């Protein structure tokens, strides 16, 4: 059984002081567990001070994005190379990066490779829009995004990759993805990994679910076959909700 990963993406919320208070409250409520890993993804501004504050026995630190070039004349950017030894994870290809900032599959593939090159585990986010699902293109979209995202990853490096299935139509919309829809998408993702790297890596790779995850439904998502954790958005900003989600993962591992 893979170690469950609970990841909290704070997006463009919380200044440095507010982020510090949230971490303090989470550290009071969340306990260490060998079968559950908790990762926090603050803003880039809060990253450095939080790296000094967090209890690394309880939490991993992650970045929400990073530029794939190690250095250069890219005003305002922070390279993934600069995040080396500061974070354990970096989100790559989040739907907001794809659809708001226009990141291409090619760019996302370069970011995945840059993360691996700098000893950071990328969480490759993939998922279809509402129109794509309505047009029955989900499998094709997942195939394209997984294949492009892993294009520069070798068979030795695939063990460092995490994939998050986040249907765009279920993120912050109130639309809830059904268990059978999630299970089917996760199976498709693993099938694509198997085609590229073999059956064994496709079983070992961790696949998360993200899309309107909150304390009420997290347990149900974690029970879906093939789901190894959740990528939490808005609920991760509330220490009661996020602690409850982590608690659900703890209880599930004990029962298993």
State the catalytic residue, choosing from 37, 96, 103, 166: 166
pLDDT at 1: 60
Q: Which of 37, 67, 94, 96 is catalytic?
A: 94
Percentage, residues of the chain above pLDDT 70: 99
* Model confidence pLDDT, tens digit, residues 78-98: 999 999 989 999 999 999 999
pLDDT value at residue 105: 96
Name 33's Cβ contacts closer than 8 Å, sequence gap at least 6.
249, 250, 253
pLDDT at 55: 95
Residue 178 φ then ψ, to 5° = -80, 150
At 41-83, the pLDDT tens digits run 999 999 999 999 999 999 999 999 999 999 999 999 999 999 9
Q: Tell me whether residue 77 is one of the annotated catalytic residues.
A: no
Tokens of 252: 């599930």
User: pLDDT-derived band of residue 174, with 50, 70 and 90 as boundaries?
Assistant: low
Is the pLDDT confidence value at 236 over 90? yes
Which tokens go with 89? 């994870």
137-158 mean pLDDT: 97
**Mean predicted confidence (pLDDT) in 129-149:** 96
Average pLDDT, the chain: 96
Query: Sign of dihedral through CA atoms 167, 155, 147, 80?
Result: positive
Give Cβ neighbours of residue 229 (< 8 Å, ≥ 6 apart). 4, 5, 6, 7, 37, 206, 208, 209, 222, 249
Q: Flag whether pLDDT at 172 surpasses 90.
A: no
pLDDT at 83: 97
Give the mean model confidence (pLDDT) for residues 233-241. 97
**Catalytic site includes residue 85:** no
**What domains can you pick out in the chain, each with its CATH number?**
4-255 (3.20.20.70)
State mean pLDDT over 199-206: 97
């Amino acid at each position: 059984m893979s170690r469950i990963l609970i990841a909290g993406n704070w997006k463009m919320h919380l200044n440095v002081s507010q982020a510090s208070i949230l971490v303090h409250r989470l550290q009071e409520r969340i306990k260490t567990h060998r079968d559950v890993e908790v990762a926090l993804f603050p803003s880039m501004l809060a990253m450095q001070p939080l790296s000094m504050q967090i209890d690394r026995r309880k939490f991993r630190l992650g970045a929400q994005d990073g530029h794939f070039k190690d250095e250069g004349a890219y005003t305002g950017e922070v390279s993934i190379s600069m995040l080396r030894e500061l974070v354990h994870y970096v989100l790559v290809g989040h739907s907001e990066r794809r659809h708001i900032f226009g990141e291409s599959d090619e760019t996302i593939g370069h970011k995945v490779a840059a993360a691996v090159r700098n000893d950071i585990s990328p969480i490759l986010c993939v998922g279809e829009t509402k129109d794509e699902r309505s047009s029955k293109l989900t499998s094709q979209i997942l195939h394209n995004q997984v294949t492009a995202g892993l294009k520069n990853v070798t068979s030795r490096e695939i063990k460092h990759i995490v994939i998050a299935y986040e249907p765009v139509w279920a993120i912050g919309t109130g639309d809830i993805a059904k268990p059978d829809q999630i299970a089917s998408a996760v199976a498709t993702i693993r099938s694509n990994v198997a085609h590229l790297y073999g059956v064994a890596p496709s079983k070992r790779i961790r696949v998360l679910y993200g899309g309107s995850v909150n304390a009420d439904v997290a347990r149900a998502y974690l029970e879906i076959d093939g789901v190894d954790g959740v990528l939490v958005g808005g609920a991760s900003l509330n220490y009661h909700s996020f602690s409850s989600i982590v608690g659900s993962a703890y209880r599930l591992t004990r029962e298993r």
